[in-house]
Amino acid sequence: MSDPLPLTGEPLALDLVNTRTAVGDLLTTPHELRAWWELQADRLPEAVPQEGTGVTAGDLAAVLAVREHTARVLDHVRRGGQPPAADLAALNDAQRAAPAIHELAWDGAAVVATRRREGAAGLRLAACLAEAAAELLADPAVARIRKCEADDCVMVFLPTHPRRRWCSAARCGNRMRVARHYQRHKAD
């Protein structure tokens, strides 16, 4: 894959796993994590910290740990295999590190419940991502997750159509179609 932009639009846990591409890791610095977090902001209950207030190296480490555990479990589960118990335990621990509660308050007319997490921003983000992974991994649809068929791509996706073959028609699909066309007409 030649495009360093993150693939988005898949289930959140897959978008996280797909930040490790064939051309490199898209999350190597706190700044890159912050950029990805902003890209996913509408899908996450955790607000992106204000610029300068920090996404730290510790936050990055927590998110990367969730990504690695999710990727290993996903690799086993999507093929019908038993995932490593240590990876399942690590995803559970990530959720426990910043548990979510429904905080109750009176708004003057009714009781309202707001879902909140305690702890550092990165631990809250890692907990949200581990929760998204847990939901995906427990969903029967996990068996339909595929690896992109492009030779140089490592992305995974949940196809919405049974004939989908590539992570993105605009990325890998176009490249593969152009390559096939070139091969057919090369001998001419």
DSSP letter string, 44-75: -SSPPPPTTT---HHHHHHHHHHHHHHHHHHH
Q: Where are the beta strands (DSSP E) in the chain?
A: 20-21, 24-25, 100-106, 111-117, 146-147, 156-157
Q: Which amino acid is at 99?
A: P
pTM metric for this prediction: 0.85
- Mean pLDDT for the chain overall: 87
Query: For residue 127, how many other CB atoms are within 10 A of its CB?
Result: 25
- The C-alpha atoms of residue 35 and residue 63 are separated, in whole angstroms, by 13
pLDDT at 2: 39
Strand partners, 13: none
Is the confidence at residue 4, as pLDDT, over 90?
no
Decide if pLDDT at 16 tops 90.
yes
Report, as an integer, the average pLDDT of 77-104: 94
CA distance readout (Å), 121 to 17, 30, 97, 112, 125: 20, 12, 11, 24, 6
Distance, in Å, from the CA atom of 51 to the CA atom of 107, rounded to the nearest integer, reads: 30
61 CB contacts (<8 Å, ≥6 apart)? 122
Q: What are phi and psi of 23, to 5 degrees?
A: -95, 0
Domains of the chain in sequence order: 12-144 (1.10.3300.10)
Q: Of the candidates 70, 59, 60, 46, which has an alpha carbon nearest to the alpha carbon of residue 134?
A: 70
C-alpha 69/C-alpha 85 separation (Å) is 10
pLDDT tens-digit series, residues 94-108 = 999 998 999 999 999
Highest mean pLDDT among 57-61, 118-122, 173-177: 57-61
